[in-house]
Amino acid sequence: MFKKVLIALFIFIISAVAAIFIAFEVKSAKNYSVINFDMTEEMKTADLELGKRIYTVRSGCIDCHGTDLSGKMVMDNGAMGKIYGANLTADKLKSWSDNEIARAIRYGVHKTNRSLNFMPSFDYVALSKSDIAALVKYIRSSAPVSDTRHANSFGPIAKMLSVFGKMPVMFPADVIDLNQDFASKPEEKVSFEFGQYLSNSCIGCHGDKFIGGKIPGGDPSWPEAKNIRLGANPVWTKEVFSQYLKTGISPTTKEVSRAPMPIWLLKEFNEIESESLWLYLSSLK
């Protein structure tokens, strides 16, 4: 009797794993339809330096795609897999149109109409059309780099989490409103509104309520994201926040924040960016 139970359990496990793997492949092959848009006019006036700043500082693209935009290892974990940022240089994107690159960034949809994998496009849904155009222009300015990286290999836990909707970064097109137009952008000056605009790049780790917690689809070795509703904690003052951005040392733990907190990017925030972000985050109780 016990042997029959073990055999039945074994068959059930094998069947469940096979079903998850099949479901993952089905989602990988799914096609998506995105609202029509055209970047032609925005590309004519796109600001290259702004695009570089969005890539290297504000949106943290450099963390996955590297300083030369050729891609770098993001995660190497047996259960989650070996995952690399994509090569964004002309070596890979020379056949892509500006619209297709913009669509991939903003909506998480590949030029083949499938969802990109492991791309936090939901962090970029609040970027304006002009900011996306600036980012595309900067990507276009990069020197081509031959792709020498290994192909992505997604592990069983990553596939399971993705299938059950617990890893939104794997299939971003599944969680984004593909009929929503680009966001508007406030003036780049010290203001609550500009701080709120900048804060959208924090959502992927800290959540849309900024309360932190386990990072969906993150490396299991990563610590939980902190609650950054700074108005609820009297420890955080404008001066303390400014110092944290410069040093990465938490005023609560007295230790340097661990990855994936991008402290090396936060150090590059200018006065307008840091003060605006403070105005917004300190308003959250």
Q: What is the DSSP letter of 122?
A: G
- 81 touches 155 (CB < 8 A): yes
Average of per-residue pLDDT across 121-131: 95
pLDDT in tens, 89-106: 999 999 999 999 999 999
pLDDT at 179: 97
Fold classified for 40-174: Cytochrome Bc1 Complex; Chain D, domain 2 (1.10.760)
Q: Is the pLDDT of residue 1 over 80?
A: no
Question: Where does CATH 1.10.760.10 sit in the chain?
Answer: 40-174
Tokens of 34: 């995105």
* pTM of the shown model: 0.89
CB 149 within 8 A of CB 68: no
The β-bridge partners of 73 are: 84
pLDDT > 70 fraction of the chain, expressed in percent and rounded:
95
Burial class of residue 145 (count of CB atoms within 10 Å of its CB; 0-12, 13-18, 19+): middle
- Sheet containing 81-84: which strands, arranged edge to edge? 73-77, 81-84, 153-154
Sequence-separated (6 or more) residues with CB below 8 Å from residue 10: none
Position 147 scores a pLDDT of: 73
Examine the pLDDT at 227 and tell me if it is beyond 80: yes
- Residue % of the chain over a pLDDT of 90: 74
pLDDT of residue 2: 66
Tens of pLDDT along 259-274?
888 888 889 999 999 9
β-strand pairing of 153-154 with 73-77: unpaired
Closest CA to 98 of 14, 32, 39: 39
3-state DSSP helix/strand/coil % of the chain, to nearest 5:
45, 5, 45
pLDDT in tens, 164-191: 988 999 999 999 999 999 999 999 999 9
Judged on CB neighbours under 10 Å (0-12, 13-18, 19+), 36 is exposed
Q: Residue 26 — left, alpha, or beta (φ > 0 → left; ψ -120 to 50 → alpha)?
A: alpha
Instruction: Please give the mean pLDDT across all residues of the chain.
Output: 91
